[in-house]
Amino acid sequence: MELNQVLKMPVVTEKSTKAQAARKYTFLVHLDANKKEIQSAIEKAYGVKVESVNIVQVKKKARLAGRGHMITKRHTGRKAIITLAPKQSIDFNTIKVS
């Protein structure tokens, strides 16, 4: 699997932004990507050393859209929580895609 297929996008929420102080970054990843592929994709894209990778399945969620008349489902997905080596950080403005 190629780099641009493994990593979909970084997750930028209040919770994930607070976790960056502890060198933990969250990304949406491809459903079939494993930990080794995610680790190598992060290291190539951002030029950092990855210490560990944790993967979380995101389940479909039903929600009401409009005045409560229509139910829609959010897509299922996968999140990877990356822990970087000490004194490493990611700047989301710079990506090295080869």
Condensed to tens digits (0 to 9), the pLDDT of residues 26-66 reads: 999 999 999 999 999 999 988 999 999 999 998 887 777 77
At residue 68 the predicted structure's pLDDT band, cuts being 50, 70 and 90, is: low
The domains found in the chain, sorted by start residue, are 3-84 (3.30.70.330)
Between the alpha carbon of residue 3 and those of residues 36, 40, 42, 43, the distances in Å are: 12, 8, 8, 10
DSSP state of 5: H
User: Which residue has better confidence, 80 or 4?
Assistant: 80
The amino acid occupying position 27 is: F
Q: DSSP for 17-68, please give it.
A: HHHGGGTEEEEEE-TT--HHHHHHHHHHHH---EEEEEEEEE---EEEETTT
- Express as a percent the part of the chain with pLDDT over 90: 53
The candidate with the shortest Cα–Cα distance to 8, out of 48, 50, 58, is 58
Decide if 90 contacts 51 (C-beta within 8 A).
Answer: no
**pLDDT reading at 78 higher than 80:** yes
Per-chain mean pLDDT for the chain: 86
Structure-block tokens of residue 61:
């969620």
pTM above 0.95, yes or no: no
